[in-house]
Amino acid sequence: MAKNPTLVLASRNPGKIREFQTLLGPLGIGLEAFTGPPALEDGETFTENAIRKARGAALHSSRPALADDSGLEVEALGGQPGVHSHRFAGEGADDQANNQELLRRLAGIEGEKRSARFVAVLALATPDGQIWTWRGETAGRILTQPQGEMGFGYDPLFLSEDLGVSFAQADAVAKNRVSHRGRACQAFLADLPGILADLFA
């Protein structure tokens, strides 16, 4: 294995970069943000989009690359917003607009029909075409109004089945323990020692 192995992260999100640095640091793995052209995220699943981002970053940088794609699936909306979670209220929509659109579409719907889940898929790609993926899910329900000031995205509306509060009310440690991204990362880290030799031969 290389003396100072480094993965490229296909993200420009500073918070996401810090999160992965915290996860990978104890394993002695560095992380660099990908600065090349972004991949076209037009896949029909989280897995497709995560793979496209990881593969594009690996080919452009000539190094192993990590990417993720995630979103919210609501039972009453037939799984929407799904892969369109970040632009549910339209291109360029912010978190508040997306949350308002979600509440508008769920108006008059009550109880179990407001069941939802967050999904995250991590993809790791090498320049020679190897691909690994990991999936994480967490169950909950959509509230009728936002609760909590922490988190981001749909967190204020997502009542966690595991925690009994919204993700925006939970501290980072508790949220990361049960969140979709946290669970995908746990699976990724469990498998990573076994594939490090392939990555940095």
Let me know if residue 55 belongs to a domain. yes
Residues with a known catalytic role = 69
Q: What is the CA radius of gyration of the chain?
A: 17
Question: What is the residue range of 32's domain?
Answer: 6-199
Tell me, what CATH number does 152's domain have?
A: 3.90.950.10
CA-CA distance, 89 to 153, in Å (whole number)?
A: 12
CA-CA distance, 80 to 77, in Å (whole number)?
A: 5
Let me know if residue 45 belongs to a domain. yes
Q: At what angle do helices 14-24 and 180-199 cross, to 10 degrees?
A: 60
Residue 123 pLDDT level (bands cut at 50, 70, 90) = very high
pLDDT at 117: 97
Q: pTM for the full model?
A: 0.88
Let me know if residue 20 belongs to a domain. yes
Q: 143-154, pLDDT tens digit by residue?
A: 999 999 987 899
Let me know if residue 10 belongs to a domain. yes
Q: 64-120, pLDDT tens digit by residue?
A: 999 999 999 999 999 999 999 988 998 888 999 999 999 999 999 988 899 999 999
pLDDT at 1: 47
Summary mean pLDDT of the chain: 89
